[in-house]
Amino acid sequence: MSKEKSYHHGDLKSALIEAGLAILERDGLKGLGLRAIAAKAGVSHTAPRNHFGSLRGLLTAIGAEGYRRHAAFMREGLSDASTGPDRLQAAMEGYVRFSAAHPALFKLMFSDYYCDFEDAELQEAAAGSYAVLTEVATGLDWDKAAAPDAQHRAEMMLWSFAHGFATLSASGQFGPGAEGANIPTISDVLPTFRYRDR
């Protein structure tokens, strides 16, 4: 009871999200449930429903936090002085590193079974993640650069590349391969792109 009261200044939502994230890390998607999350947060089993309406509402909030962390992974190590190719490599590596470090969260974020993609908070968080791809796609010099919708094509190409690699890698499709062969990283297969002056 005292623990539940300690969240009365609006901390309960964050506590429930953090509890859900912890369960995802420990037990995967199968472990998620309102009662399990409430127990982990140390509150009554009705508390999550009071704040999020349903399990899907809470999972959507967890997905939104996942997108914020996803964006942070893609921006890790970057500075204003980073070159276009450096930013591209960091974003692609961060995308895959996040999926490898948080596979259950990554799956939840991109599933409309778990998340409500019409939710405004989720849309805002996902847009923040996608903005990193927009940034690294800007000025990309490739064979579609002259197309009227070149920016959109570049974003789609990079997103498909990173998400496809992350998904295939997580499912073990790239390894172990031939004896003694190393499992490739995304940097091993990422084409070399040049950037036009911005």
Write out the residue range of the structural domain in which residue 24 sits: 1-53
Say how many domains are in the chain: 2
Residues 47, 71, single domain; the answer is no
Residues 40, 69, single domain; the answer is no
Q: Which of 114, 116, 115 is nearest to 30 (CA)?
A: 114
187 inside domain: no
Neighbouring residues of 99: CB distance < 8 A, sequence distance ≥ 6: 106, 166, 167, 169, 170
182 inside domain: no
Mean pLDDT of the chain: 90
Residues 45, 68, single domain; the answer is no
pLDDT, tens digit, for every residue of 97-131? 999 999 999 999 999 999 999 999 999 999 999 99
Residues 73, 47, single domain; the answer is no
- Provide the CATH number for the domain around residue 14: 1.10.10
Please tell me the pTM assigned to this model: 0.89
Q: Is the pLDDT of residue 68 over 60?
A: yes
183 inside domain: no
Residues 69, 163, single domain; the answer is yes
Residues 74, 159, single domain; the answer is yes
pLDDT, tens digit, for every residue of 149-165? 999 999 999 999 999 99
- Residue 63 CA to residue 21 CA, distance in Å, equals 9
